[in-house]
Each structure stands twice: as C-alpha cells, then as structure tokens.
Structure 1
C-alpha cells in the first residue's frame, strides 16, 4: 500500500499555513532572494488605472528564474530539501555570478503562499538562455475534497515569443478547464457535489473572464524584454479585498494598511551595515499616480538611528543565561554584564544571540536630543517601534509588530512603570538569529513566530529577566545606581530653563510682530498730523504782523512729533533673530520713514528760516529754551520709565527670593522640636542626623538650582555689557551653525551625486556617440529626416554638457589672461535659451570686451554663471530685462548689473554668506563659492546700491583687485 494525497492537503500546506497577507508576500519575496534577486516587487494595479476594467496584483523578482525542467522537478515538487540543508552554492550561472547566499526558505512550501493572494493565477518565469515558462492555475480547485493530486492537471507551456503570450495564455486556460471534463470518479461518484458545485462554476467563470489587459500585458513585456531577461512573476487576476483596500483612503482601514506596511518595510535587517542589500517595493498604481506603499508613511529605521537613542544596549546572550555587552545612558557608556540565575540544562541551550537596541524617551524635555533629532526618531518610533527578530538578516514575523510583545514589556509596565521602565513601543532594535548558531529556534509551520520549545523558553526567560534587572539597576524610581536619574534630572532642568526662555522670547516676538503690524497706521497718522501743522504754520507765517503766541502751540507740537519720529520704527528684540520676512518688512518701513523725512525736512527747514525772519530774538530764544527742555524731559521720561520697571522687578525678585528662602528654611526647621523630643536612644540620634543631613543637602541643592544662580547672574550684570545682545548674538550664531550643518550634509550628498552623474554622463555620451556614428554609416538610416534631427539635438546637448564639464575640473586648470569678450561669448552660448525665452538684453561695453582678467578660466566662468543665473530669476517679472557688463579702468573694477530686484542694503553683505538664499529652494552656495574662488585669485566681489555702479537700479556686483 502507498499513501495517496488528497488535493486539499496542498491547500492546507499552502494557504492554510499562512497567517496573514504580509506573511504570504514575505514568503514569496524570500523565494526571490533565494533565487539571487536584487529587486523584489509587489504591484497593485487598481481598477481604472490606464483604463483597467478590474484590479490585478503582481509579485515579481529579478532572480535567476526557472527553465521548464526546473518548474517540473523543483517548483511543482513540494518539500524540496535543498534549502533546509543550508548548503552554500558555488558562484556560477546558478547564482547569477553573485556571492552565494544562505537560503531564507527552508520547508519547500513557501511558494504555495501565492494561493493566499487571490485567484486565478498566472506564473511566468524565465531563466537566462531559456524560453519563458507560463503556468496557469486556480488554487480553489484544491478545495474539492473529492479530488486527489493525481486527478489534477496543472497547465504549463513554453512561450517561444513573449509578444505572443496572449495566444499561449488562452491555451493555458483551455488546458486548465479540462480539469472539469470529468464529472464522475472511478467509483462513479460525482466529483463536484453539494455546495462545491457553486465553487466549480465560480472557478470556470473566473478563468473564462481572465484577460491580459493592455497595461498588464505591457508590464509583462517590459519585464521580459530580451533574451537575457530573467526572473519570476506571479499575476493574480482577482486579488483579495485586503490587497485592494491598501489603495483606499478609508479611515476605518488605516490600521490595516499600517499593519501591512509595518510588517513588510523591515523585510531585511536595516540596523546592520553588513545586512543584505536588496530593494523591496510595494507599488500602488491608482488613477494617474504610482507610489510606494512602504515609503509613503516615512522611512524605516537605519543603523545611524542608534545614535539618537537616549538609552542604547548592545551585547550578546551566550545561550546559557549570561549577557555581556555595553550600555549607553544618554552620553555615558559603561560595560554591563548579567547572568540569569536559572537552572542550566544542555537541552535548553539556544546558542549565541546578539542584541542591539535603542530606547527613546517619551517626551522631549526628558531627552538629550535637539528638537529636530527628537522629532525624527519619535516619528519612526511612533510608526515602527518594537523589538524585531531577524534570522540570517531576514525578518521573522510577527516580531516587531505592535501586538508582538513576546517579552511582555507592556504587561510588566502596566503593573508598575516606576519599577519596570521599558516600554515595547518606545524601543527599536533587533535580535539576530542564524540557522548555524541557533538551529533549535525554528519558525512555526504557520509562520506565526518561533516554536515554543525548551530553547525558546530559556531564551525568553533570560531576555525577560535581563530587562527586569537592567531596569532595577538604573531606571527604576529608586534604582541601585543613580546614573540615569541624575542625568535625567539635569536634562529636565536644562529643558525647563530653555522652555521658560522660549516663552519669554515668544512674548517679545509677539510684541515685535504687533509693532510691525501697527507701524504703517502710526506713520500715516504722524505724517498727516505733521503735514497739517506745517501747512498751518506756513499760513500763519504769511501774516505780516505775526506774534510768537500765535505759532507757539504749533512749534511745540512739531517738536513733539520730531521726538516721536525715530520711535516709530519697531525696536528689534536682541534675544532672537527676526525672520527674513520681518527683516524685509522692517527694511521697507525704514525706507518709507527715511523717504518721508527726506521729503519733509526741506520744508521744515524752510519754515524754520521763515519763522526766524518773522519772529523777534526774544521769541526765538523762548522757543529754543522750550526745545532744550523738551529734549531734557524726553530723556528723563525714558530713564524714569526704565528705572520704575527696574524698581518693580527688583522688588518682585527680592520678595520672591525671601519667600522661597523662607520656605526652604521652614522645611528644614519645622520638625526640629518634635524630632528632638522623640529621641530616646543613641541609635536614633545617628539615624535622625543622617536624615537631617540628607534633607539639608536636598534643600541646598534646590537653592543651588533656583535662588543662587539668579544672584550670580545679577552679580555678573554690568552697564558696560549688554547681556540681552550677547545672548541674542550667541543664539543667532547657534541657529546659523545648526542650519549650516544641516545644509552641509545635503551639499555633501549633492557633491557626491554630481561626481557620479559626471562619470555616468561621460560613459553615456561615449556610448550614444558611438551608436550614432554606426547608424550614420547606414545610408538608409542616414536619409531619414528624424535621424538628422536626433543627431543635431544630441550634438546640441553634448555642447551644453561640454560648457559645464570644465567647471568640474577647476583644480587642474591653469591661470591665463582671459579677455572679457571671451566671457561674453561664453555667456551668450550658455544662456542662449533663457536669453531668448525671457527677451533679455545682454549689454557689454568695449572696455569690458578688451579688459584682460588673469585667472583660471573655469573659475571666472563659474562666477559669471552664478550671477547671471540669479539675475535671470529676479528679472522674470520685470518689463525690461537688461544685464550690463562694464569695466571702469580708473578704479579697475568690473561691473555686473541687472534690472531685476534691488538687493536691500542690509542684505548686501549677507548674500555672500554660505547657505543664505532668498530664492525658493535655493541653497545659497553660488555667491559664497564665487567669492571664495575670486579671493584665491587675489580678487574680490561685493554687492552695491551705489548709483555710480548700479545704473539699472537692480542687483549690482563689482569685482575688483584685493589691495594689500
């Protein structure tokens, strides 16, 4: 006798063993990795995308694929043992000439997980040098409990021509439908009966209606686009609703989408630099857009995120209950060892297991990170926090998921957070298993975690007690060692002080913003009143017999308005740096005020002279005395107002100091008599002395954090040092340094990208140029009109790149005399399209054309390109767009002026600062580098609004010689 296998046994081994959608996808991706794929893809083509009449789901990999023999002898044979033996292959054609990989699969049934994704299915696979293989199947056929495996036909065909796959596809469907030809088995019993008759018709109907619509067909043809193509693709015609819902913005389905995303995004171990480097994407093709589901919510963890951990643990469990490693608490790193006092048994030895874990504080004021750093890591922890398990750098599900707290962190924390400290959702990191080191820690057949055997129980016991002991040693409310608590209090105190400072700064910002908003109205009111008084004064002075008493009030009011004039401009707080928008508004206000003063001053002076002519010396003396007293009064008023504020604040501080000091003293002395009376033994004296000493130092420490620093600060105050300005300057420097650091990081990446692009362009140009040359030898091709266009357009593109290429190689260039005319012609070529598009007039003087500049040619080209490029941007909205190049022989200065936006006076120097830019998405690098490059050539550049140079009233730059 021999075993016979019912068809539904395969269904139970496949779909029946898969816990959920992420597990099914993961199993197929693992098979792709085992086939030496570098890219693993899942694609949902949603109904309506490019005219699709229904939704499709595709899983694909660019692995080695399979030949017809491979499909028959391996893929259709369940439980193949090549993976479970973990034998390394040799580098060869079978590894795509890549380094041999340790297999991720082991049971030989992972391929059946495709049944979980929906039905029916078309599998396509191709090995290099072999034709495409196609298999069509509907896994629901296996649900018929009357069928044996021997009764089922699985259609397979070799597709000789990929473009004719539609024909082969229909043949496969017909072959599959032959499974329904027989109605009775050998015992003359009906094969389909009862409720399964409905299933039969569903399968037949879905097969008949399955079509390779044009977008899907194009996707297949692009995947297998040559004889050298290779890889495997599973096309599911009716994907399950869970897959389709991933593309829907349904609030009720958000958690489901997050569950799938968080389960797939950490497919391989991202925490290790030596981890597997393969690309896994889950593309959603919907309406007119395509996006990657795995990156839409944000990036997953990476190794550098451990640098942002407030607590960092790295070490190794030895398999017998001992942990040996390091512990970093904020910025302090120490060695840490722990041994679980459990009974040792050889049967529970689980092998060496490394662990690396970061832990993030839940609130910002308890963390040592900056605001940006804290937000970055908190966002990731919020989305993906958990302790992950990887075997041979592949994720073991469900570990890492929100509901997979297998060490029960949250259960313990809910009982007593002050004792157990660690929260599963605040941690991120991994436990690293391998088949070689940990052969007894195996997956359940259902792929729902590790088997609960003796080795698993021993490991979880060791890990659980390790975290309990660690919390008691450092992190509990009353720990054995105070390292964490002391540092936490220090950080919290610092952050509280910074928050208080920010709150005070916020009040000043609000006041300054309010002043900016009210300034225009105040100036209008001032101007209206001032001009009205001047008109009245003018009329009065026209009278022949004018007396002082008739104009006394007017002169008094004008003086008051004169004194108020400068006070109209909002005072800039010194504790923070205003925004660029606020600076811009302030600059415009100052311009408006200065224009107002310039326009009204001549008339004021004219009327003063007129008054002097009309009034007697006695009257003028009285008026002068009044003005004198007015200045004295104004000064006294300002001084007295600030003195009153000083008196009030001083009184308030002294009162608060006394109240706090009294409270601290009372805390120490209030129980003095009761304590002394309660002493009845020598032992109590020692005990109470220790308690009083502790209380004293606690209160003294509190005074040292609150009262004493204020007094020390007041002692340091001096009329000769503006503390507000000093603090504001340091804060401004800090903000600038922080901004520059962030930009420098981006710029470094940009520089690397430029080098790569430069290299790739050179290779690409050489290939295209060579291919065009070969095509041009063919008279038939050469005669085609479009080929001529292609050749000329490529030549033009090549010329544009040639203009740029010298800029990448400045270091090797030689200093030479470059005529201005050469620069002018270069700019005409470089900006040819922009000059034509924006109707720009590039004016150049004869003096500039004949002037020689001794410099490296790429340097001077780069300088002019940066300046002209900026000019084109700022001239876009101007009616006249003129760029002028000139040279003044006498001061020996080159002028580059334009008719665009004028640079405000306060920005004239700032435009050369690194990373300073007013252009949207501008990096603020060009002018900085231009100045640096010119300085190296003993030249300098500056911006000016001097009308001597800035004849076009826009931006104007002057290049001159540096004088020693």
Structure 2
C-alpha cells in the first residue's frame, strides 16, 4: 500500500494556507527575491487601459527564472528542499546571477502555490539564461474537484520562440489544459465531474476560452525574455483577478479601509528602517488609462527610512539578549541617555529566543508637544498615520501581520485604554525588531504566514517586550513617571508652542486687519479726494469774486486745513510684528501711487490757490487763520495723546486686574482647608507629614508665580520709550522666516545640482548614441520618407546646438578671461533665443555704443547673466502687445543697460530680486539673479535694477551692469 494524493490537497496547501491578498503577494515576492531578482512588481491593468478587454493582474520578477527541467523537477514538486539546503549557493555564480549569495526568504516549498489565491486562470512565463522561454497555463480551480487525484491532472508547458509564436502557443496551452475535462471516469469507474460540480467545470472552461492578452502587453511581457543568452525572469499573468485586486484601484470611501489595509501590509516589504538596506525594489503599478498610471504602494504616503528616526521625539535603540535583558540608548527629545533593563522573571533555557536588535521611534500626536516645526511634524505624522506600528523582520523581510495598525500584538492600546499614563501608543510609534533564522530559530513563522507560532519562546519574547515598555513608561514617559526628564522637556516645549501659537494668532489678527484696511482705504481716499476737490472748486469760485470777504471763505479754509491734517490718516498702518506679504506690499504700492498722484496734481493746484487766497486777505485775517491752524494742530496732538493714554490705562487696568485675580487664586490655594489641616494635627508624625505636604505645595505655587506672574512683570520692566519692541520682534520673526525658507530652498537646490550633473552625463552619452544611430540609418537608407527623416535629423541638430550653447555655462572653473564685445554678446543671444524671439515677435536690438563696447571677462559668466535677464524678460513680456528688448551702453558712467517693455519691477522689489530664493515668478526658484550678481562681483562688476527714467526708457524692467569700485 502507498499514499495517494487528491488534487484537492494542493488547493488546501496553497490557497487554503493564504490568509489574505497581501500575504499572497508577499510570498511570491519572496520567491522572486530568492531567485535573485532586484525588481518585484504586481501590475494591475484595468479594462479602461488601452485595448485591455478585462482586468489583468501580473506578478513579475527579474530573477534567474526557470528552465523546463526546473519547472518539472522543482516548481511542480511540493515541499522541495532546494531553499533550505544551506550549501546550495555558497558563492557568486550563474545560479546567483553573479550576485552575492542571499539568505532564503522562503523555506517550506509551498509559497509558489499562493498564486492560486490571486485569481484564475494563470499563465506563467519564465526564462532562465541560456534556455528557451517557457509558458505554463493552468486554472487552479480544477483542484477543487475532490474526485481528482494529482496523477489525473495535466499541466501543459510550451517553449516560446518569438513574438509571432506566442499567441499560437497560448491557444495551444489553453486547448491542452481543457483536455483535463475529456476524461469522464476515474480508475474505479466513478464520474470525475459529478452533477453538482458541473457549474464549476463550465466556469473554468468559459474563463480559459476568454483568456486573452492584448498585443501591446504581449510585446511588453516578452520583450526582455526572448533573448536566449541574456533574458531571465518570471511573470505570472492572472486573467480573472480576485475582486479585491480590482477594488483597491477604486477611489471611493467604501473601500478605503481595505485599500489602507493592503497598502500598509505591503509597505516595508524589506527593512527600510536600516540605512542603505534597500535589498530589492517593490512596486504595484496601476494602469487605469493612458493618463493615469501610479504606484499603489505610494497612494497613502511613502514608507519610513532610517532618517525618520531623526524626526521622532522619543527613540529607543538597543539589543535584547534573548534572556530578558535590554541594553541600549533612550533619546528623549534632544537628550540621549544610556538605558538598560532586565525582566525579573525566571530564566529557562527552553524559553531562550535569541538576541535581536530593536529600534523604535515615537512621534507626538500633538504638534504643540513636539520639538519639530510644523512641516516636519506634519511629514512624520502623515507617515505614522499611514504606516505606523512596530514591525518584525526576519533576515530583512517583513513578517506579517506585525506592523499593521490594527495588529497591536504587545497590547499598547489596551493598556492606554485602562490607563493613558502608560504613554506608548501603537498608532504613534514606528520601528522594527530584526530577527534571523540563525539567531532566533525558536521564533517560527506559522504555516499560514500570519505571525509567529505561540510556543514557549514566543510567549517569553512577548512577555519581555511588554514588561520592557511598561517599565520604560513608568520610569520616564508616563504622566506619573519616576524620572521627570521627558515630562519637563515636554512641558517646556508645550508652553513655548502655546506661547508661539498665541503670538501667531495675534499676528494673524493684525494681518487680517491690515488686509482689510488695504481694501477699505482706497474707498476712503476716493471720498476724501471728492470732498477736497469740491472745497477747492468752491474756494476758487469765491476767490475769483472781486469782493470776496474772509467770512465768505472762513469755513472752507477751516475744512480744507482739517483735510490736510487728516491726509496722514489715509495711509494704512503697516504692522511691525510681522513682515507683510509681497501681495500686500503690491496693493500698498498701488494705493500709495494714487496718493502720490493726488499730491502731484490736486495738492499742487491747492497750493497755487492758497497763494491767491492770501493775496486777497488782509494781514489781520491771515493772522486769525494762522491762530486757528495753530489751535487745530494743538488739538489734534492732544487727541492722539489722549487716545493713547486711555488705551494704555485700559490695558494696564486689565493686566492689573488679571494679576490680582491670579495672585489671589495662588494665595487661596495655599490657604485651602488650612484650619481643617491644623485641627487634624495630633502627633509629631502628623506634623512632619503635613509639613512636607505644605512645603511641596509652596514650591509648586512658587513655580506658578514664576511661570504666570513674573514673566509679565519682567517684560514690562524692560519696556522703554527708546526701544520699539514691536519693530524688534517683527525684525527677528522676519529674519527667522527668511532663514527657514532659504534653508528649505537650499536643500532643493543641492538636489537640483546633483540632478544637473547626472543629466549632463546622460545627455553626453545620449547624443553620441543618437548621432551614431542617425548616421547608420543614413547609410542604409531604411527610410522611404526622406523628407521626414531629414526633418528628424534637422530637429535633433537644433536640440544638440542648444545643448552646445548651454553646456559651457556651467563649466566655468577652467575658462580663461577674454575680451568680449557687445556685438559678440548680442549675436550669441540672438542665436540662443532665436525661436522664442521669432515666436513672440520681439524687437531685440542693441545700440551702436553697446556693440562697440568690450570688456575682459570669462565668457560663460557674462553669457549666463544676459541669458538669465533676457529669459525673465521674455516671460514678463508675454502678455504685452509691444515686446522690445534693448541693450545699451553709457560711456560717461561706464554702465551696460539691459531694459525691456515687460512688467515694471515694483520699488519694494528692486533690492529683493537679487536675494537668493526670492522670486515673483510662479514656480520660480529665485537663483538666477542672485548667482548673476555673485559671479559679476567676482569679476569686479556689479548689477542693480532701476526705475530711473534716464535708464528705463522702455518703462519695463531695467538692469544696469557697472564696475564694482
């Protein structure tokens, strides 16, 4: 007698052992890694993409693949020990794709069957170097027939030699698979397909017949696999994917929890918490339509990396020795202390689980309790929200379900629910435990791949971790912690944050008030101007009369003088505590232009009129008028002083009232139940106890005075009429905001610089290859459309010419200064901007003085400066009807002038535009003019912008280059 195996056993070992979709994908990815793949993908093609008729799911890896013999001897053999034999791959070879040997992620020999979980039918394409491409077709539902024995199942395999051969072989594979249904009876004469299983049979047959692969996808799948010598890898094409696979591509709220579950389960497939530990790349590309392609793994945010621990408010970093002891460090905000712990449990060899490193970061849930600034806090909080949790890795591969937000295996949230002072929240932490098969051989994965087996070693491992985190909270992190280092720092950060928040709120109110005034003041001014003009007209009419009397114009003169005094009140008060935005300054500039226009027209007219009025009046009448004006000035000043005094007294009274209330509260708290406590003292011991309580309460209340009352008194004592506190604070805040902004831009610029170097290197190689290809195509004359080919060649030549013009601009270090004429510069610019000058119909010209002028300088420096200025000019002239650029030279001042007819630079921006990272252009980086000024300064030249009409003849933007000394 011998065992016989039902086909159903394979279904139970495969699909039956897989808990969910993430587990199935993870198992196949692990197999790909074991096959020395560097790139693992799970591609989803929806029926809205190109000519895909029904959704397809494709698992791919660029590993070593399989030959026909490997399929027959390994892949189709369940429980094979090929991965568990340690001596299989000891050094780099063809079997490792000449890569360093890897520790195997799979070990039971059944992970490959998880493909059955993903859907049906399935086509496997696999290719080993030096062997033909193999195609295997199967529908795993066939194994659900409990009458079939494994010996009864036929799995067709075919060689694929070419693109043309592929579709023919696919149809053959499908027909060969359908032969499994030709056999009606088993060896005992029983029906294989009973009546109640005929529905399953029809479903399988229909699915197999409908299985199609679009042409574009066939080429994509086979492109890198048909090369006999070099092609390698494995691809599983699932024709009717699991419904869940399609549902995770939707964008509705109904399936949000499931999408988050799948994404968080597949994120962190390998241990990216460790620096430079990216051992394999994973992606889940989703192809919805030609305009929508994205990686599902990034839908809810990027996964963590080693740098994220720098953004944690608490970091635990150390090693457990496998016997209950931890040694490492504890970082509490910016303070690092050595920390060790031993669980006082009974030691038992049977429960030894082996040593392992652990590193955990904790992010504060409230921004006010974090040391991070807003953007950094939001960045790490978003990551924690999407992927927060304590992950377990074995030999760098994630062990599911650890790390999932809903899998709190150490019971953090349960303890918090009972007592929040336990502090640790599973939802706010991120980090890892790193296990290995060698060190931690008693911590064993379940066959279902859902966690670790609950044996003695695991229970001890879990108990040690729980005890460790409890002790850590009680000693440092809980609300009643024995050591106050963390709590003190947390409280200080919270107080500072609250103070800043209140100050920001006050600044926000000022901003709103300033913005509101910018809207209201123009309307106010229009009323003022209308009244002023009306009075002038009446005054002029009466003054022109031959018999004008002082009494006739007295009221008009009085009102006119009042309006003159009120003119200053028409200018909005610019806040000192914060720096107004450029938009606000622009609006203020436009408004001030109106006021300036008023002064230059109406106000000047009034001055002439007042001279005529004085000629008409007698000295004694003018003296009366003078006296009245004197009294009006005096009254206005007294009114302003009185208003300020009232405001000062109101604020003082309010502060004093608040001070008295807080003071009384503190004294009352000390005296609370004083008589009751005194009467309760009946022994020396009770005197000692109550004295300690009283001293403790006194110290607490004294701290309250130092925190609440003293700071205000100290601040008031430092106030002085000689120092404008608002102005000083505003200046420091503006400087801080500028520094913070510049730092962010500097990081981006550094990355941009690296990218430019890479692009430059790639461009050089690309141009060489394209040139070579075009030359070869020219020789063989493959193109029947000569005109189109020449057009292609001409366009590439233009692109190459542009690159040649540009490339010297960032290779300045080895360039020698030379004599460059204005004519040389003009010709270079015309060549560089030829297409754009023509497209925008720009009148680009230079004067004779400019063309004849020359200077000694490194050519790339002066070219870069002009390119930057002209490029900006073209941008700002786009919406102008008249577009002109003029290059000129003033010999008397030795200055080069570059002006255009675009937008004029506002006066408040004239100096700012040369600051690094300052830009008024949407998405502008604000680097060009800064670098232009710096490079010119190094060549003993300077550049500035001006609105002086002597220079700015085109009334747009105007730049002047002059000698530095």
Which category describes the TM-score, using the shorter chain as reference length? over 0.9
Query: What is the CA–CA distance in structure 2 between the aligned matches of 1:416 and 1:590, rounded to whole Å?
Result: 62
**1:666-694: CA deviation from partner (whole Å, max 9, x where unpaired):** 32234444434433322333222222211
Instruction: Specify the SS of the correspondent of 1:812.
Output: coil
**1:886-906: CA deviation from partner (whole Å, max 9, x where unpaired):** 111110000010100000001
Q: Which residue of 2 aligns with 1:682?
A: 684
**1:544-567: CA deviation from partner (whole Å, max 9, x where unpaired):** 110111111111111111112122
The counterpart of 2:409, out of the listed 406, 409, 416, is 406
Q: For the Cα contact (< 8 Å) 2:161–2:226, is it kept in 1?
A: no
Instruction: Specify the SS of the correspondent of 1:147.
Output: coil
Instruction: Specify the SS of the correspondent of 1:50.
Output: coil
Q: For the Cα contact (< 8 Å) 2:28–2:114, is it kept in 1?
A: yes
Instruction: Specify the SS of the correspondent of 2:643.
Output: helix
Q: Which residue of 2 aligns with 1:661?
A: 663
Q: For the Cα contact (< 8 Å) 1:312–1:359, is it kept in 2?
A: yes
Change (3 A) 1:461 1:798: same
Change (3 A) 1:387 1:780: closer
Query: What is the CA–CA distance in structure 2 between the aligned matches of 1:454 and 1:553, rounded to whole Å?
Result: 103
Q: For the Cα contact (< 8 Å) 1:276–1:393, is it kept in 2?
A: no
The counterpart of 1:384, out of the listed 379, 383, 387, is 387
User: How far off its partner does 1:500 sit?
Assistant: 1.5
Report matched runs for 1:757-906 at 5 Å.
757-778=759-780, 784-906=786-908
Instruction: Specify the SS of the correspondent of 1:252.
Output: coil
Change (3 A) 1:688 1:255: same
Is it true that 1:296 corresponds to 2:299 in the alignment?
Answer: yes
Instruction: Specify the SS of the correspondent of 2:709.
Output: helix
Change (3 A) 1:169 1:783: closer
Report matched runs for 1:716-755 at 5 Å.
716-755=718-757
Change (3 A) 1:672 1:185: closer
**1:464-508: CA deviation from partner (whole Å, max 9, x where unpaired):** 100011011012222111111111111111112112212221221
Q: Which residue of 2 aligns with 1:170?
A: 171
Q: Which residue of 2 aligns with 1:195?
A: 196
Instruction: Specify the SS of the correspondent of 2:77.
Output: coil
User: How far off its partner does 1:112 sit?
Assistant: 0.7
Query: What is the CA–CA distance in structure 2 between the aligned matches of 1:495 and 1:583, rounded to whole Å?
Result: 29
User: How far off its partner does 1:299 sit?
Assistant: 1.2
Q: Which residue of 1 aligns with 2:70?
A: 70
Q: Which residue of 1 aligns with 2:952?
A: 950
Instruction: Specify the SS of the correspondent of 1:325.
Output: strand
Q: Which residue of 2 aligns with 1:530?
A: 532
Query: What is the CA–CA distance in structure 2 between the aligned matches of 1:116 and 1:547, rounded to whole Å?
Result: 106
Unaligned runs of 5+ in 2: none
**1:34-64: CA deviation from partner (whole Å, max 9, x where unpaired):** 1122211111111222132211111111112
TM-score by length of 2: 0.98
User: How far off its partner does 1:861 sit?
Assistant: 1.1
Instruction: Specify the SS of the correspondent of 2:416.
Output: helix
Query: What is the CA–CA distance in structure 1 between the aligned matches of 2:4 and 2:810, rounded to whole Å?
Result: 72
Bigger mean CA deviation after superposition, 776-785 or 932-941: 776-785
User: How far off its partner does 1:652 sit?
Assistant: 1.7
Q: Which residue of 1 aligns with 2:334?
A: 331
The counterpart of 2:559, out of the listed 557, 560, 564, is 557
Query: What is the CA–CA distance in structure 2 between the aligned matches of 1:676 and 1:181, rounded to whole Å?
Result: 101
Bigger mean CA deviation after superposition, 701-710 or 663-672: 663-672
Q: For the Cα contact (< 8 Å) 2:326–2:341, is it kept in 1?
A: yes
Bigger mean CA deviation after superposition, 217-226 or 922-931: 217-226
Query: What is the CA–CA distance in structure 1 between the aligned matches of 2:553 and 2:356, rounded to whole Å?
Result: 96
Bigger mean CA deviation after superposition, 107-116 or 273-282: 273-282
User: How far off its partner does 1:728 sit?
Assistant: 0.4
Report matched runs for 1:320-359 at 5 Å.
320-359=323-362
User: How far off its partner does 1:141 sit?
Assistant: 0.5
Q: Which residue of 1 aligns with 2:33?
A: 33
**1:152-175: CA deviation from partner (whole Å, max 9, x where unpaired):** 110000001133210000000111
**1:707-764: CA deviation from partner (whole Å, max 9, x where unpaired):** 1111111111111110000000000111111111111111111111111111111122
The counterpart of 1:374, out of the listed 351, 354, 377, is 377
Query: What is the CA–CA distance in structure 2 between the aligned matches of 1:94 and 1:64, rounded to whole Å?
Result: 7
**1:243-278: CA deviation from partner (whole Å, max 9, x where unpaired):** 111122231111011111111121111111131332
Report matched runs for 1:210-359 at 5 Å.
210-224=211-225, 226-227=227-228, 228-288=230-290, 289-359=292-362
User: How far off its partner does 1:67 sit?
Assistant: 1.7
Report matched runs for 1:47-58 at 5 Å.
47-58=47-58
Bigger mean CA deviation after superposition, 86-95 or 647-656: 86-95
Query: What is the CA–CA distance in structure 1 between the aligned matches of 2:350 and 2:112, rounded to whole Å?
Result: 33
Query: What is the CA–CA distance in structure 2 between the aligned matches of 1:339 and 1:177, rounded to whole Å?
Result: 64
Q: Which residue of 2 aligns with 1:105?
A: 106
Q: For the Cα contact (< 8 Å) 2:163–2:219, is it kept in 1?
A: no
Report matched runs for 1:123-142 at 5 Å.
123-142=124-143
Instruction: Specify the SS of the correspondent of 1:234.
Output: strand
Query: What is the CA–CA distance in structure 2 between the aligned matches of 1:558 and 1:86, rounded to whole Å?
Result: 102
Q: Which residue of 2 aligns with 1:18?
A: 18
**1:348-392: CA deviation from partner (whole Å, max 9, x where unpaired):** 111111111000111111111111111111111111111111111
Instruction: Specify the SS of the correspondent of 1:128.
Output: coil
Change (3 A) 1:788 1:225: farther
Bigger mean CA deviation after superposition, 213-222 or 317-326: 213-222
Query: What is the CA–CA distance in structure 1 between the aligned matches of 2:390 and 2:781, rounded to whole Å?
Result: 67
Is it true that 1:614 corresponds to 2:616 in the alignment?
Answer: yes
Query: What is the CA–CA distance in structure 2 between the aligned matches of 1:195 and 1:568, rounded to whole Å?
Result: 91
Number of residue-to-residue matches in the alignment: 962
Is it true that 1:90 corresponds to 2:91 in the alignment?
Answer: yes
The counterpart of 1:629, out of the listed 607, 612, 631, is 631
Q: For the Cα contact (< 8 Å) 1:163–1:221, is it kept in 2?
A: no
**1:39-98: CA deviation from partner (whole Å, max 9, x where unpaired):** 111111112221322111111111122222222222111212122234444212222222
Bigger mean CA deviation after superposition, 599-608 or 777-786: 777-786
Q: For the Cα contact (< 8 Å) 2:443–2:452, is it kept in 1?
A: yes
Report matched runs for 1:406-445 at 5 Å.
406-418=409-421, 420-445=422-447
**1:801-845: CA deviation from partner (whole Å, max 9, x where unpaired):** 111111121111111221111111111111112111111111101
**1:10-36: CA deviation from partner (whole Å, max 9, x where unpaired):** 111111110000111111111111112
Report matched runs for 1:700-719 at 5 Å.
700-719=702-721
The counterpart of 2:397, out of the listed 377, 394, 399, is 394
Instruction: Specify the SS of the correspondent of 1:195.
Output: helix
Change (3 A) 1:621 1:436: same
Change (3 A) 1:631 1:42: same
Query: What is the CA–CA distance in structure 1 between the aligned matches of 2:854 and 2:354, rounded to whole Å?
Result: 76
Q: For the Cα contact (< 8 Å) 2:133–2:226, is it kept in 1?
A: no
**1:629-649: CA deviation from partner (whole Å, max 9, x where unpaired):** 222222221121111111111
User: How far off its partner does 1:619 sit?
Assistant: 1.5
Change (3 A) 1:205 1:673: closer
Q: For the Cα contact (< 8 Å) 2:132–2:226, is it kept in 1?
A: no
Bigger mean CA deviation after superposition, 666-675 or 16-25: 666-675
Bigger mean CA deviation after superposition, 926-935 or 780-789: 780-789
User: How far off its partner does 1:773 sit?
Assistant: 3.4
Is it true that 1:4 corresponds to 2:4 in the alignment?
Answer: yes
Q: For the Cα contact (< 8 Å) 2:936–2:943, is it kept in 1?
A: yes
Q: Which residue of 1 aligns with 2:544?
A: 542
Q: For the Cα contact (< 8 Å) 1:86–1:103, is it kept in 2?
A: no
Instruction: Specify the SS of the correspondent of 1:811.
Output: coil
**1:394-437: CA deviation from partner (whole Å, max 9, x where unpaired):** 1111111122111111111111112x211110101111111121
Query: What is the CA–CA distance in structure 1 between the aligned matches of 2:45 and 2:224, rounded to whole Å?
Result: 15
Aligned-residue CA RMSD (Å): 1.5
Q: Which residue of 2 aligns with 1:598?
A: 600
**1:891-948: CA deviation from partner (whole Å, max 9, x where unpaired):** 0000010100000001000001111111111111111111111111111100100001
Q: For the Cα contact (< 8 Å) 1:782–1:788, is it kept in 2?
A: no
Query: What is the CA–CA distance in structure 1 between the aligned matches of 2:100 and 2:849, rounded to whole Å?
Result: 66
